[in-house]
Amino acid sequence: QKEVEQNSGPLSVPEGAIASLNCTYSDRGSQSFFWYRQYSGKSPELIMSIYSNGDKEDGRFTAQLNKASQYVSLLIRDSQPSDSATYLCAVNGGGATNKLIFGTGTLLAVQP
């Protein structure tokens, strides 16, 4: 079982709709959770971090965390074609390194 799991997609939504991206993780001790956006041919860009249960909003983005269910999600409101990218979920692997463990990413396509 992979440590961080995401549906690879593609997830296709019409412009203006809400896009919902989901992620599950296996390590119950994880404390920090991140969403990165990666455009084709570019490097990942950090867009959201969340550390406690509940919702965290930043503009059109809302991250949701449920540690009991080991579940993280990202909602994108009023989706725009420019949001079309791969969204990577990352979890703090803990230990002395605190390296991030990434999922394989979900490809989001926003249709104009």
Partner 1 sequence: GAGVSQSPRYKVAKRGQDVALRCDPISGHVSLFWYQQALGQGPEFLTYFQNEAQLDKSGLPSDRFFAERPEGSVSTLKIQRTQQEDSAVYLCASSSRDMGGVYGYTFGSGTRLTVV
Q: Are 49 and 36 in contact (CB under 8 A)?
A: no
Q: Is 21:6 a contact under the CB 8 Å cutoff? A: yes
- Which residues within the stretch 46-65 sit at the binding site for partner 1 (CB under 8 A)? 46, 49
Restricted to residues 12-31, the positions that interact with partner 1 (CB under 8 A) are 31
C-alpha neighbours within 13 Å on the C-beta side of residue 94: 7
- Please state the closest distance from residue 46 (CB atom) to partner 1, in A: 5
By CB under 8 A, name the one of 1, 69, 82, 97 that touches partner 1: 97
Joined tokens for residue 94:
């803990």
| 9 contacts 106 by C-beta, under 8 angstroms | yes
CB of 110 to partner 1, least distance (A): 20
Contact region with partner 1 (CB under 8 A), list: 9-17, 61-69, 73-81, 98-106: 98-106
